[in-house]
Amino acid sequence: MRRAFGDAVAGTDPLLAPSKDPKFGDYQCNAAMGLAKQLGAKPRDVAQKIVDALSADVRAMCASVEIAGPGFINLRLSDDYLASLAGSIPPGGGDGDGDRLGIDRVEDAARDTVVLDYSSPNVAKQMHVGHLRSTIIGDSIGRVLEFEGHEVVRQNHLGDWGTQFGMVILGMWHAAMARQRGEPPKYLQRALGELRTAVAGGPDMKRAYLKAVAERSRAEYQADPDGRRVFEPFLEECRSAYLLSLDDIEAGYLYINALTKEAEGTEFAADLKDPKDVAQMMQRGGPQDTQERLAREIAIRITLAECNRVYRRLGVLLSDAHVRGESFYEKLLGGTIEELKAALSAPKSGPDGIRAVCRIDRGAVCVFIENADGSPVFKGPEGESLPMLIQKSDGASLYATTDVAGGLYRMAHATRHPIRLSSRTLNEALAGLGGGLGATRVLYVVGTPQRLHFQMLFAVLRALGWTQLGGGRREVRLEHVSFGSVLGEDRKMLRTRSGENVKLKDLLDEAVARAEEQVRTAEAEPDRRRGFSDDEMRDIAHKVGIGAVKYADLCQNRNTDYVFSWDKMLALQGNTAPYMLYAYARIMSIYRKGAESGVRTSDIEKAPIQLDHPAERALALRVLQLPETIDAVAENLLPSLLCDYLYDLAGRFMTFYESCPVLQGGDPALQASRLRLCDLTARALKLGLGLLGISTVERM
């Protein structure tokens, strides 16, 4: 395009994509229509000029270049070119781990430092399916970006800060008192049940319950006013003994939440400590700081232990080393508020013209986000401007404050991306944390309900000028990798039969159990039996079960909600993990048989590829499209593109296998070529599934 029309069209998207229909060749370039408008010329003439300007290299790749319709350019690659390209893929070597199929990494200049915020569960709560989606999608994106050669800095933005923490700690206090009274374990679950019963029993019952708890609590506070006698020893003991489970802690949180709500406005509220005070006291370093920090530490440890179990089962690349919880940014919060007040005292515009201005509104620190004409970008139900809340009137910081501070930490870098700040406090605090991660791309893998939060956050970070790299020549890419909900078969949010949140552990257990049942059923049928040992069956069940859950999630465009269906995700037919894994295992067995029948692996690996049959050509073309598919996933952060690719690849393989005898073919050269196509297909499947975080099995 540049050769035909000069530098004026540099940067115009060539709109080059695989053709939907083989009638139109292998690739289509659809840029001529848009260019024609821009240049005031006829589209077909523009297309012709582009074609005339094609380099000798491109000509040599193509069997034909045609202009069709209003100005589509259809390119058909030559069979020789495809065969030699496929033939140039280096051998896989051994078990195929670390096999890249000869795909290059991005050049140094294009290498991003990507901060990948994913999973990010909340302390004292079981991960829910939303976190499962974040974990699975984020993990795949991390693998893809790393494969491309980018530096990926994983950040598990654990929710471990704020008022909710006050509730967790209060819950632990109640657990400590109950233990002191000699109550059996699981006190908090029981207390929660009793409270709910009392509330359901009407005002009198509720009053009586609150009264009893308030009186007892007051006496217990008085007996241990500074916590040194009972609470602190309890916490110390928790460090080494398993006194509280995540379920206990979660129940404690729910209990205090409900208790506070029910007691609000009654004479009992005073005796039931306000969780907000607890959280605030910690933020300011109050007298009970040590205990509360200890309590926090314990809650975090118990939560992470549970998360790590889920991560390990899922085979996800997350460990404690990646945890950068909200509390990590504590030291930046004060400076961040100061900075926003100073830097945004007057409206400041980002590169997109969106401006941000910080104002105090009824005692709260707010950042208002405006269009260039001063009209609000985000509006509430009555058309009023919706600000981003940075500090509440009571002095507490918020989720958004942490994310602004986190944005700074993630993008700034002492040498690669120094960010000039107005607040000295912030500058020093940032230096204290090492100066920042220097991200050139920051990804937040979080569900769609938080879309507004991230839109506001990105607008504020841009307006502050923090996203400008190299003096504004380039922008840090901030992206909300959003995803929809997981629905039950009733199309409502996925719940257990009794209406509770589904626990991930149970869900994964069930996936593996169902997969195991399938394997065992097949093994019990004489004509399906493979003779697997118990260990093999368990390994297959684990990989198929976990793979099925992951694949079912990844194969949908992430922004759509999807219905969670065991039958669908475990089906051996369709765009499912079992189908993909089976296709892989089947190809491996063909390949193995070929190798056993006397063809040496080294011969196959060097065999020239012949693409005489259309099915051979279609298969080879698809194998060769793996790199551009991975590029597209890295760019659009859509693992579903990779699933679509793999599903189509497996389908093309089946067609090839039906129409092109691999092992019965007489000609050894043809047999070797076809075996090599099998090998390449299997390796492409394995590589692709690996990038989705799914392990293959050799036999199934």
In the complex, least distance from residue 480 CB atom to ligand ARG, rounded to whole angstroms:
10
Shorter beta-carbon distance to ligand ARG: residue 122 or 336: 122
Helix residue spans in 74-202 (DSSP H): 79-87, 129-148, 163-181, 187-200
Q: Residue 26 interacts with ligand ARG (CB under 6 A)?
A: no
Q: Which of residues 349-388 bind ligand ARG (CB under 6 A)?
A: none
In the complex, least distance from residue 127 CB atom to ligand ARG, rounded to whole angstroms:
9
In the complex, least distance from residue 157 CB atom to ligand ARG, rounded to whole angstroms:
4
Shorter beta-carbon distance to ligand ARG: residue 407 or 438: 407
Dist. CA 32–CA 30, nearest whole Å: 6
In the complex, least distance from residue 307 CB atom to ligand ARG, rounded to whole angstroms:
12
In the complex, least distance from residue 134 CB atom to ligand ARG, rounded to whole angstroms:
8
In the complex, least distance from residue 507 CB atom to ligand ARG, rounded to whole angstroms:
17
Shorter beta-carbon distance to ligand ARG: residue 355 or 558: 558
Question: How many CA atoms lie less than 13 Å away from 41 in the CB half-sphere?
Answer: 16
In the complex, least distance from residue 402 CB atom to ligand ARG, rounded to whole angstroms:
7
DSSP 8-state assignment for residue 156: B
3-class DSSP state for residue 38? Answer: helix
3-class DSSP state for residue 457? Answer: helix
In the complex, least distance from residue 160 CB atom to ligand ARG, rounded to whole angstroms:
9
Shorter beta-carbon distance to ligand ARG: residue 117 or 139: 117
Give me the torsion for CA of 184, 166, 496, 550, rounded to 10°.
-120
CB 577 within 8 A of CB 551: yes
Shorter beta-carbon distance to ligand ARG: residue 406 or 594: 406
Shorter beta-carbon distance to ligand ARG: residue 120 or 468: 120
Shorter beta-carbon distance to ligand ARG: residue 227 or 406: 406
Shorter beta-carbon distance to ligand ARG: residue 51 or 323: 323
Using alpha carbons, list the distances in angstroms from residue 697 to 530, 566, 589: 14, 20, 11
- Strand-pair partners of 481: 445
Dist. CA 195–CA 189, nearest whole Å: 10
Using alpha carbons, list the distances in angstroms from residue 234 to 182, 203, 231: 13, 34, 5
Burial class of residue 449 (count of CB atoms within 10 Å of its CB; 0-12, 13-18, 19+): exposed
Dist. CA 319–CA 324, nearest whole Å: 11
Please name the helix (run of DSSP H) or strand (run of DSSP E) that holds residue 27, with its range, or none. strand 27-29
Dist. CA 558–CA 573, nearest whole Å: 22
Q: Which residues contact 183 (CB under 8 A, 6 or more apart)?
A: none
Applying CB under 6 A, among 403, 553, 616, 679 the residue interacting with ligand ARG is 403
Give the residue among 564, 584, 558 at the shortest CA–CA distance from 572: 584
3-class DSSP state for residue 451? Answer: helix
Shorter beta-carbon distance to ligand ARG: residue 136 or 446: 446
Q: Which residues contact 368 (CB under 8 A, 6 or more apart)?
A: 356, 357, 358, 359, 376, 385, 387
Tokens of 114: 């990507």
> Number of residues in contact with ligand ARG, rule: CB under 6 A?
9
Shorter beta-carbon distance to ligand ARG: residue 133 or 586: 133
In the complex, least distance from residue 435 CB atom to ligand ARG, rounded to whole angstroms:
20
In the complex, least distance from residue 458 CB atom to ligand ARG, rounded to whole angstroms:
12
In the complex, least distance from residue 635 CB atom to ligand ARG, rounded to whole angstroms:
22
In the complex, least distance from residue 495 CB atom to ligand ARG, rounded to whole angstroms:
18
Site string for ligand ARG, 79-118 (x = CB under 6 A): --------------------------------------x-
Shorter beta-carbon distance to ligand ARG: residue 401 or 518: 401
Tokens of 329: 């940014």
In the complex, least distance from residue 259 CB atom to ligand ARG, rounded to whole angstroms:
23
In the complex, least distance from residue 446 CB atom to ligand ARG, rounded to whole angstroms:
5
Shorter beta-carbon distance to ligand ARG: residue 159 or 545: 159
In the complex, least distance from residue 153 CB atom to ligand ARG, rounded to whole angstroms:
13
Site string for ligand ARG, 149-178 (x = CB under 6 A): --------x-x-------------------
Shorter beta-carbon distance to ligand ARG: residue 74 or 120: 120
Using alpha carbons, list the distances in angstroms from residue 243 to 23, 235, 306, 633: 68, 9, 15, 45
Supply the Cα-derived Rg of the chain in whole angstroms.
Answer: 30
Applying CB under 6 A, among 444, 466, 579, 584 the residue interacting with ligand ARG is 444
No. of H helices and E strands in the chain? 26, 16
Q: Which of residues 52-71 bind ligand ARG (CB under 6 A)?
A: none
Dist. CA 17–CA 234, nearest whole Å: 64
Using alpha carbons, list the distances in angstroms from residue 557 to 485, 633, 678: 12, 11, 29
Q: Which of residues 665-694 bind ligand ARG (CB under 6 A)?
A: none
Shorter beta-carbon distance to ligand ARG: residue 30 or 450: 450
3-class DSSP state for residue 240? Answer: helix
Give me the torsion for CA of 626, 630, 633, 636, rounded to 10°.
-100
Give the residue among 177, 267, 178, 167 at the shortest CA–CA distance from 214: 267
Give the residue among 423, 403, 427, 405 at the shortest CA–CA distance from 414: 427
Shorter beta-carbon distance to ligand ARG: residue 133 or 622: 133
Shorter beta-carbon distance to ligand ARG: residue 157 or 322: 157
Applying CB under 6 A, among 82, 388, 446, 621 the residue interacting with ligand ARG is 446
Dist. CA 587–CA 186, nearest whole Å: 52
Shorter beta-carbon distance to ligand ARG: residue 26 or 403: 403
Question: How many CA atoms lie less than 13 Å away from 401 in the CB half-sphere?
Answer: 28
In the complex, least distance from residue 391 CB atom to ligand ARG, rounded to whole angstroms:
17
Q: Which of residues 113-132 bind ligand ARG (CB under 6 A)?
A: 117, 120, 122
Shorter beta-carbon distance to ligand ARG: residue 120 or 283: 120
HEC profile of 504-549: HHHHHHHHHHHHHHHHHHHHHCCCCCCCCCHHHHHHHHHHHHHHHH
In the complex, least distance from residue 117 CB atom to ligand ARG, rounded to whole angstroms:
5
In the complex, least distance from residue 447 CB atom to ligand ARG, rounded to whole angstroms:
7
Summarize as ranges the residues that interact with ligand ARG (CB under 6 A): 117, 120, 122, 157, 159, 403, 406, 444, 446
